[in-house]
Amino acid sequence: MLERFRQFWTNVWAPLGDLLLRMGVSPNAVTLVGTLGVCAGALVCFPQGWLLAGVLVITAFVFSDMIDGYMARTSGQLSPFGAFLDSTLDRLGDAAIFGGLALYYIGPGDSEWRAALAIYCLTMGSVTSYARARAESLGMQAKVGIAERSDRLVSILFMTGLADLLRHLGVGDGVLWLIPITLGVLAVASTITVVQRILVVRRQSLALPPPAE
């Protein structure tokens, strides 16, 4: 759903991408730095309880995912390795975000079941991406689902930042319930997405001709 806004933000950050290209920075370097920034924001800030600060740091570096693609297309540096690196590091960043929330609940958040919920979201997010990648490696498609990567990330980052902002504004600690509620919704949505992808690949596989003897 949120992919429709990708072109808008790409246009916003295009001048920065052009500047980096003129400076001799490669798209792969931007991909790597962006991932390191996301991981630092999630794994340093979240476990300390600095939720809003973590969201702001992560958000700043998440846009590198659009900048590196723009740079690669503009400079003609599109390559299979670049696509592989981008996709692989995306998974690492996603894991850091949900892993950071799990560490928050193990630490200052003091809730084992919420930590487990964050870990479940981390796991199902990885399975969602793997199901699509594995289907494509077998010559099939599995792009269906109600919980795309961008939807999951924007939802949890927005609600985490909003909850901590409201807490700092004096609403009270109860507003932090917005985070586990969002995690619960994402857990259900990710599970449904995995099932949807399994079913669509099964239908495609049944339609394939039998292997030659």
Residue type, 113: W
**Residue length, the chain?**
213
How far is it, in rounded angstroms, from Cα 72 to Cα 13? 14
First to last CA, the chain: 44
Structure tokens at 146: 């109600």
Catalytic site residue from 65, 68, 86, 90:
90
Which is it for the CA torsion 141, 147, 152, 158, positive or negative? Answer: positive
Measured CA distances, 61 to 107, 146, 166, 192 (Å): 25, 25, 23, 29
Q: How many CB atoms lie within 10 A of CB 27?
A: 26
C-alpha closest to that of 96 among 50, 165, 46, 51: 46
Question: Residue 33: how many CA atoms within 13 Å on its side-chain side?
Answer: 13
Four-point Cα dihedral 109, 90, 150, 64, nearest 10: 100
- 173 catalytic residue (yes or no): no
**Positions marked catalytic:** 90
